[in-house]
Structure 1
Amino acid sequence: MAFPYCGAVVMSTVRFHRQLDPAGGPGHQGSMRIYKILRPEEWDRLRTEGESAGAPIDQADGFVHFSTAAQVAETAAKHFAGTDGLVLLAVAAETLGPALRWEKSRNDALFPHLYGPLRLRDVLRARPLPLVGGAHQFPDDLT
């Protein structure tokens, strides 16, 4: 399966390196990447339709679940254990505007939740998330 970049990704040369402030509170939407894990059919739907309300759990909860670089491996282990063929999306938090909220979730940590559609134009990068030896293999350059 090919994972083409959307046009905005190819044109963008901005690198986002800021990590989530563990103290919480306002200002989390600075220059940082947040991550969404999709199943192949969810990724295909996003590419075809240009936007998505997310996975069934996102639709049931009323927001699209994202994770930070520090949270995404645990998210994969908890919610996608043993699932192969996943796609890891990187999105610049600041492009989502006020629809992105930081809310307490697992272990009282703040997680990014998008109260609006996930739009293909907001995706910086899509990468395969292979399952190797029962564990998902994440790229080394998550920031």
Structure 2
Amino acid sequence: MILHFCTASDWADAQRAGEYTADSLRTEGFIHCSTAAQVHIPATMLAKGRTDLVLLEIDESRLPEPPRWEPGEGTDLTFPHVYGPIPIHAVLAVHPYPPEPDGSFAPPTGLG
């Protein structure tokens, strides 16, 4: 299981379209994903203080092709990158992802 954070409105758009895409798919060629232990890192870096985020819980086995584990920018961690749209049926659950009081994000509990 891998995770991707996005806005609730982007998820609603994806449900209507039948698949989820992100701007990074167009600009970088892939959708950034994370494990439960690391999703707070890019969420804090890219979306600090946002209150409209959700976490998509994605079953890797339901993707058209497996994610590629590649180095993240500015870290020695590897992250799962999905090279194509994410079919709605690959998303097993959607969880609210509120920030901490200081605007940062914590690792989600009870996932992965």
- 1:102 pairs with one of 63, 69, 81: 69
| 2:109 counterpart of 1:140 | yes
Q: Deviations over 1:63-93 (max 9, x none)?
A: 1110011110111111111111101110112
Q: CA deviation at 1:138?
A: 5.1
- 2:17 pairs with one of 43, 49, 68: 49
Q: CA deviation at 1:103?
A: 1.1
What are structure 2's unaligned runs of at least 5 residues? Answer: none
State the number of aligned residues: 110
What are structure 1's unaligned runs of at least 5 residues? Answer: 1-32
Over aligned residues, Cα RMSD in angstroms? Answer: 1.7
Report the TM-score when normalising by structure 2. 0.86
- 1:88 pairs with one of 40, 55, 58: 55
Q: CA deviation at 1:97?
A: 4.8
* Identity in percent: 34
CA distance in 2: counterparts of 1:58 and 1:98, whole angstroms: 15
Moved over 6 A (4+): none
| 2:90 counterpart of 1:122 | yes
Higher relative contact order (CA closer than 8 Å, sequence separation 6+) = 2
Q: CA deviation at 1:118?
A: 1.1
